[in-house]
Amino acid sequence: MKKIYKFLIITFFICSFSSVVILSKNPPYSKYTNVIYVHPGIDDGLTFPTLKSAMESITRSGPDKRYLIKIEGGYEYNECNITLKDYVDIESTGNEAAMINYENTDMSNTEGYDIFRVYTSENMIHCNIKKLKIRIVNGNYVFNALDNNIDITFEDCEFVSIGSASGRAVNNYENIKFRNCDGL
């Protein structure tokens, strides 16, 4: 009887431990296969100093290879002409939103500068942009879509366009969703 009792306890322990191991091998589902970080002053291949350099490092993305660029919140990034890519999402981390800012000093060319751009593409551009403050001074647009073949969502974003050539923050509203955004 004592041997059977020990056998049952050991079997119970092994089965319980196996269940824990099996559960720990199955993390929660994530739609992202790759995560890239942006933080000023860091450039080590996985973390980039600018959003533009992080975006340019992505050579192949798609429905089965979706990227998330996490940009460190609370910092100001002075950048322009960032071309959005298909299945590459951008999200600010931390309590404060990241500020993407560009102030054009070339007053002879105010139309050549946007913060985010989408040019013509063969495939639809799918992306989500969350928790950013996006500001352009003496430029063209905060977001300039030159193609309607887009499915883009801005969420918890703030748009500021001062002295812009167009007078608007966003060009081509078709197929763009705005959730809890200011400054449009």
Q: Residues near 141 by Cβ (< 8 Å), separated by ≥ 6? A: 114, 115, 161, 164, 166, 168, 169, 170, 171
- Residue matched to tokens 């119970």: 12
Give percent of the chain with pLDDT exceeding 90: 38
Q: Residues near 135 by Cβ (< 8 Å), separated by ≥ 6? A: 99, 100, 101, 102, 115, 142, 159, 160, 161, 162
Give percent of the chain with pLDDT exceeding 70: 78
Please report the pLDDT score of residue 122 as a whole number: 66
DSSP state of 108: T
Q: How many other CB atoms sit within 10 Å of the CB of residue 104?
A: 19
- Residue matched to tokens 């495939």: 123
Q: Is the pTM of this model over 0.85?
A: no
Which of the pair, 150 or 109, is modelled with greater confidence?
Answer: 150
Look at residue 73 and tell me whether its pLDDT is greater than 80.
Answer: yes
Q: What's the pLDDT tens digit per position in 53-67?
A: 999 999 999 888 999
